[in-house]
Amino acid sequence: MRVPEKPSLDGLEAKWGEWWETTGTYRFDRSKTREQIFAIDTPPPTASGSLHIGHVMSYTHTDIVARYRRMRGREVFYPIGWDDNGLATERRVQNYFGVRPDPSLPYDPTFDVTALERPDDDRPVRVSRPNFIELCERVTAEDEKAFESLFRLLGLSVDWTQTYTTIGEHSRRVSQRGFLRLARKGLAYTAEAPTLWDVDFQTPVAQAEIEDRERDGQYHRIAFDRSDGGRVEIETSRPELIPACVALVAHPDDDRYHDLVGSTVTTPLFRVPVPVVAHHLADPEKGTGIAMICTFGDVTDVTWWRELGLPARVVVRRDGTLAEGRFGEPGWESEDAGAANAAMAELTDKASNQARRRIVELLREAGALLDEPTPVRHVVKFYEKGDRPLEVITSRQWFVRTLDRRDDLLARGRELSWHPSFMGARFATWVEGLNQDWAISRQRFFGVPFPVWFRLDDEAEPLYDDPIFADEATLPVDPSADVPPGFTAEQRGRPGGFIGDPDVMDTWATSSLTPQIAGHWEDDDDLFRRVFPMDMRPQAHDIIRTWLFYTVLRADLEHDSLPWSNAVISGFVLDPDRKKMSKSKGNVVVPTEVFERHSSDAVRYWAGSARLGYDAAFDEQQMKVGRRLAIKILNASRFALSMEAAPGDVTEPLDRSMLASLREVVRQATEAFDDYEHAKALDLVERFFWGFTDDYLELVKQRAYGVHGAEKAGSAVAALHQALDVLLRLFAPFLPYVTEEVWSWWREGSVHRAAWPSASELDVADGADPEIYEVSAGALTAIRKEKALAKVSLRIPVERATVRDTGARLAKLELGAADLREAGNVQILETEPADAASVDVVLAQPAQQA
RNA sequence: GGGCGCUUAGCUCAGCUGGAAGAGCGUCGCCCUUACAAGGCGAAGGUCGCAGGUUCGAGCCCUGCAGCGCCCACCA
C-alpha cells in the first residue's frame, strides 16, 4: 500500500491520461461477441468549429454510461469521429490558402500548396476538387488534434485508435456505397423539381435545414380583371411574382368565388390570361379568400402547380434576381406582350425586395394597387445558415425517398428507447410533418461527390435519365477526375462522351452513416457484425430531425433495422441567466480554462449532476462542490487506509449495518444506471459518501485506532476497506481521475476495468440491519447539534445524553452505543422509550458567556 | 394554431407506486476536532405557479388557467 502523505488533485489528469493510453485501458477487444459488446455511435464534432461547454456536458454523459457498461463487463466499442465534411471547412480552407475548388479541373498529383503562386490581383487560385479535399484534410487535422487533447483531458474513455473523419477516404467510400445501394433500389432518384433554394449559397436546402424567422412584410391588395369587365381582388406579400402568376385559386366551398371558378382573369401590368381554379388548400380566411398561384412563391404553390396541372412561368433566377421578360413567346401569352416585357424590364436583374418596391410603384400608376400596403409580421423560411429568405427554384437534384416511408419511420421511432422518453415525441412530430423527399445533392464544391457520370448526346447535352454508376469496388471515386467504366479520359465533355456529376452530397448524407462508418460496413464484415446495430446514440435534442432522423432512415432503408436501440439525449448548457450560450451573445465559456480552474473530475461532477434531456445551467459553484468532493475522496481514503490495525472479520453490528446500507445504495444506483438516470445514481452515491465520512468514520475512529482491542479494530478497518473499495467503483464513472488515483494506492490494475459493485460481494451484510447505522448516526448528529448551539468545541465531553425513541430503535442503538459514546465523548448514555424521537444532551461544561 | 417539457427555499435542483416538505450552494452562527481550515459542525429560510376536483389524506392523480422554454406548422 502506497498512501501519500498529502494527496492532491494536481497533475492527476496528465498522470492517468498517459497511463490509460500506454496500458490500453480503453482499447476495444474485437474478439468479443455482439452480446458482450456495448457499441456507441459517438457524435463527430464539427472540425473548424470550437468545442464549447455544451459538448463537455453531453460527451461526459456518454462517457459516464460507457464507463458504467465497461464495469458491468461489457466490451465497450467507443469510437470517435471528426465531422470535417461541409461548408465550415470549405470556407475556412478557401480563406486560409486563398484557393477555390473547381470540379472541372483534373487532379494534380504534384500540387504543392506551399509553392502556390498567388496572382497579383489576389483572386483565389482554382484547384481541382481532389486537391482541395487534400487541403481540407490537412487543415482539419490540426483542429482534430486540439479536439482530441480536450477530450482526453475531460477523461473520455474512447478508444483513440478507432477514429474517423467524415471526409476521409473511408467515409467517402461508405457514403458513396450507401448512395449506390439506394440508387439501385430506386430509393434515391434524380429529378428536375422545384426545391427550396438558398440564393446566396446557390444550393438546395433540405427540409431539415430550414428554419422559420419572423419578418416584417406588407400585404398588397391587387386587382385582376375579370372577363366581364369587373375586378377580383387578391392579397399578396410578394407582388413581384405577378409575372409568374399562372392561376388564381379559391376554396371549392367558398360561395364568394363560386361563379368565378372556371373563368379566366387577366393579370395586371402583364395582361396574362390565367384561369381561376378551386383547391381545398385555399383558405377562405386568409386575405380576400382567393390567392394568386405563382411558379413559385412558396411550397403551397408547388402543390397547387403539381396537383392542378398548371404551366410554369419562372421569373426568379438561381441568384434570386428577376429574369428578362419573355412575354409573347410560347407559354408566355399576354394580351399586350410589349407592355408586359416593358414592365418586366423594370424588374429584371433586381433582387426580389427591390423588384417588389418597383412593381408596387408600377401597380399604383396602373391603378391596380387598391390600397396602400399594410404592414404585417409574418414567418418566412430561411436556410438555417442563410441571410435571405429561401426561394423555390426548379433544378435537377438527387432525392432520397422519405415521404412514402413515413409509417415505417414512425414505427422505428416507437421501437427506439428514448432517454428521456418524451424526446420520442419530437421525432414523431417531425416525421408526421415531412412534406418533401430529402434533397441530398448540393451545388457546392467540398464534400463527398456523387459516384455518378452522365452520358452526353451528340450535342454534348447530358442524358440525365440514364446515369452511369461507379462500380462499388472502385470506391471512393471522384467523377471530376475518374473516368466511368467503358470510357476514356479523352471523351470527357465531348459529344457522345460523358461528364461527371458535379454535385456533392449533403453532409448529413455522410453523417447519417456514422454507425456504418465506425463499424466498417462492408469493409470489415466481421467487425460490423459485432457492433451493429449499436446500443446507443448520444446526442443533443436540436439535431433529432437531422442526424437522428437521417440515421434511422438510412439504417431502415439499408439494413431494415434500427441503427441502435437507445437514443440518449442531452440538454443544452445555459448561462447562469438561463440564456442559451452562443458566440454572438458573448457568453461562451472556454472549456480549457474551466478545467484548469476546477479539475476535470470537478467539471465532470457538474455534468454528471445534470439529467438527460433537460437544459442545465453553467454553474461553477457546482464545480467547486465537485472539486471538494474529489478532495474529500482523497482525504477520506488516506484516512481509511492509514489505520494500523490489520483488517479482520466484519463482526461488529454497526459495521455490518453500514455495509448493509451501502448494499442498498449499490442496488439503487445500479437500477438508476440501467434506466440511464446517471444523475440519480450520482446523488445516491454522494449522499451515502458524505454520511460515511461525517458519521461512520467518526463513529468508528476510536475503535479503529484499537481502543477496544485488535478484534474490534479489525472489524472496523475491514469494513472501512470494503466500503471504500465499493465507493471508489461507484464513483469511478463520474470521477475517473481521483478514483484511479486512490485505487492505485492499494489495488491492482485500473478501477475502470474493475467490476461494478454487486450485492453479492457485500454478503457480509447478509441479515444486517441498516437501521443500526442510521440510529447511531442520528444520535451523533443530535449531540453535535447541541454542541454547535452551545458554541463549544466538539471535543467537550457530554455528561449525560438521553436518547428517546421507540423500543425497537433503542435496541438497535444499543448495538452501536459503544462507538457513539466515543465519538460524542459521552460519559453517560441512557435511553428512554418514547413515541417521538428526541435526544437530551447535558454538556459537562456550561456554555461560555459571549 | 398543434405538441412536449418546466413552474418546490434567495440560487441550482431532488422528491420513487399518493402517507408528517428535502439536498447542495448562498446567508448567518460556531469549532484549530491527532484524514481534510482551499476544512469541519450547525441554524435560519418554503401558501410546492393559480383555481377547481378525486381521496380518510395531494408537491405527486384528474380538469381548467397562467407564465417560461423548446419542437412542429403557419409566406395569399
d(CA A453, CA A455): 7
Tell me the pLDDT of chain A averaged across its residues: 91
Matching residue, cell 472549456: A591
DSSP string, A782-845: HHHHHHHHTT--TTSPEEEEEEEE-HHHHHHHHHHHHHHHHHHTEEEEEEEE-SS-EEEEEESS
- Whether A516 CB is under 7 Å from strand B: no
Q: What pLDDT score does A142 carry?
A: 85
pLDDT tens-digit series, residues A74-119: 999 999 999 988 877 888 888 888 888 887 888 888 888 877 776 6
Q: Measure, in angstroms, how far nucleotide B68 C1' is from residue A572 CA.
A: 16
Per-residue pLDDT for A21 more than 90?
yes
Q: Measure, in angstroms, how far nucleotide B68 C1' is from residue A612 CA.
A: 20
Task: Count the alpha carbons within 13 Å of A2 in the hemisphere toward its beta carbon.
Answer: 6
Residues 631-660 of A with CB under 7 A from strand B: 631-632, 635-636, 638-639, 642
Per-residue pLDDT for A346 more than 90?
yes
3-state secondary structure A458-526: CCCCEEEEEEEECCHHHCCCCCCCCCCCCCCHHHECCCCCEEECCCEECHHHHHCCHHHHHCCCCCCHH
For residue A191, count other CB atoms closer than 10 A to its CB.
13
Per-residue pLDDT for A831 more than 80?
yes
Report the candidate in A212, A547, A210 with the shortest Cα–Cα distance to residue A384. A210
Kindly report which amino acid residue has its CA closest to the C1' atom of nucleotide B23: A687
SS3 A192: strand
CB-CB contact of A454 with A467 (8 Å) = yes
Q: What pLDDT score does A577 carry?
A: 65
Residues 211-240 of A with CB under 7 A from strand B: 211-212, 217, 219, 234-238
Q: Measure, in angstroms, how far nucleotide B37 C1' is from residue A599 CA.
A: 21
Per-residue pLDDT for A314 more than 50?
yes
pLDDT tens-digit series, residues A401-458: 999 999 999 999 999 999 999 999 999 999 999 988 999 999 888 889 999 999 999 9
Task: Tell me the pLDDT band of A224, cut-offs 50, 70 and 90.
Answer: very high
Per-residue pLDDT for A18 more than 50?
yes
Per-residue pLDDT for A490 more than 70?
yes
Q: Measure, in angstroms, how far nucleotide B14 C1' is from residue A64 CA.
A: 20
Task: Tell me the pLDDT band of A847, cut-offs 50, 70 and 90.
Answer: very low
Kindly report which amino acid residue has its CA closest to the C1' atom of nucleotide B36: A635
Q: What pLDDT score does A584 carry?
A: 57
- Whether A297 CB is under 7 Å from strand B: yes
- Whether A287 CB is under 7 Å from strand B: yes
Per-residue pLDDT for A659 more than 70?
yes
Contact positions of strand B to protein Cβ (< 7 A): 2-6, 11-15, 20, 23-26, 29-33, 35-36, 38-43, 69-76
CB-CB contact of A62 with A98 (8 Å) = no
Kindly report which amino acid residue has its CA closest to the C1' atom of nucleotide B6: A614
d(CA A338, CA A633): 87
pLDDT tens-digit series, residues A363-386: 999 999 998 888 888 888 998 888
Per-residue pLDDT for A583 more than 80?
no
Question: Could you give the C-alpha distances from A32 to A23, A28, A311, in angstroms and in order?
Answer: 19, 9, 62
Q: Measure, in angstroms, how far nucleotide B19 C1' is from residue A771 CA.
A: 21
Task: Tell me the pLDDT band of A581, cut-offs 50, 70 and 90.
Answer: low
Per-residue pLDDT for A850 more than 70?
no
pLDDT tens-digit series, residues A532-559: 999 999 999 989 999 999 999 999 999 9
ipTM score assigned to the predicted complex: 0.94
Q: What pLDDT score does A118 carry?
A: 67
Task: Tell me the pLDDT band of A121, cut-offs 50, 70 and 90.
Answer: low
Residues 337-396 of A with CB under 7 A from strand B: 376, 378-381, 389-390, 392
Task: Compute the average pLDDT of residues A305-312.
Answer: 90
pTM of the entire predicted model: 0.91
pLDDT tens-digit series, residues A720-773: 999 999 999 999 999 999 999 999 999 999 999 999 999 999 999 998 999 899
Residues 780-839 of A with CB under 7 A from strand B: 781, 784-785, 787-789, 791-795, 836
Each residue of A490-503: b (16+ CB within 10 Å) or e? ebbeeeebbbbbbb
Q: What pLDDT score does A786 carry?
A: 86
Q: Measure, in angstroms, how far nucleotide B17 C1' is from residue A552 CA.
A: 35
Task: Tell me the pLDDT band of A585, cut-offs 50, 70 and 90.
Answer: low
d(CA A179, CA A338): 49
- Whether A430 CB is under 7 Å from strand B: yes
